[in-house]
Amino acid sequence: MNEQDIELRAQRAVELFKQGFNCSQAVFASCADLYGINDEQLALRLSASFGGGMGRMRLVCGAASGMFMLAGLQNGSCTPHDNDGKMANYAFVQDLAGQFKAKYGSLICAELLGLAPRPEEPKPTERTQQYYEKRPCPEMIAEAVRIYLRNL
C-alpha cells in the first residue's frame, strides 16, 4: 500500500471519529474492508466495546485496540493449539504496541489523556468543538492507522 492510500485511510479514520464514533471504531472500520468486512456497520459493531480505553474504563487506548483487532484479521490464529500462529500474531501486536508507545509514551487511555486512573461512568462525553480541540485522539487514531498499514 502506498503512502497516499495510507493517508486516505488515516483521514477516513479521523472523519469517523469526528462523526461521533469511538477511537477503536474509527481505526478498525477504516481498514476492515482490507479483510473482506465490507459492511461498515458490522465493523463498527465489532469494535464498539473498545472505545474509551475499553468500555470507557480508560485502560488500553481504543486506537491501539483497533490496530490489534486488525492484526487479528491479518494473521490471527484460528486453529486450536497453533502455538506458532499465536506467537506470530502476538509478536506482530507487540511490535505495533511498541511503535505506538514509542510515539506517545503509553498505551493506557487515562495516561494519554492526562486523566486520573479511576473508573469512568459509562456515559460518553458530549462531542463539542471544545472536546475535539483538547483531545489528542484524532492524531493518535490517524497514527494508529499509519503504524498498522506501514507494517503489513
CA distance 23 to 17: 6
CA distance 135 to 17: 11
Please say if the pLDDT value at position 131 is more than 80: yes
Residue pointed to by grid coordinates 494473521: 75
pLDDT in tens, 30-67: 999 999 999 999 999 999 999 999 999 999 999 999 99
pTM of this structure? 0.97
Please say if the pLDDT value at position 118 is more than 80: no
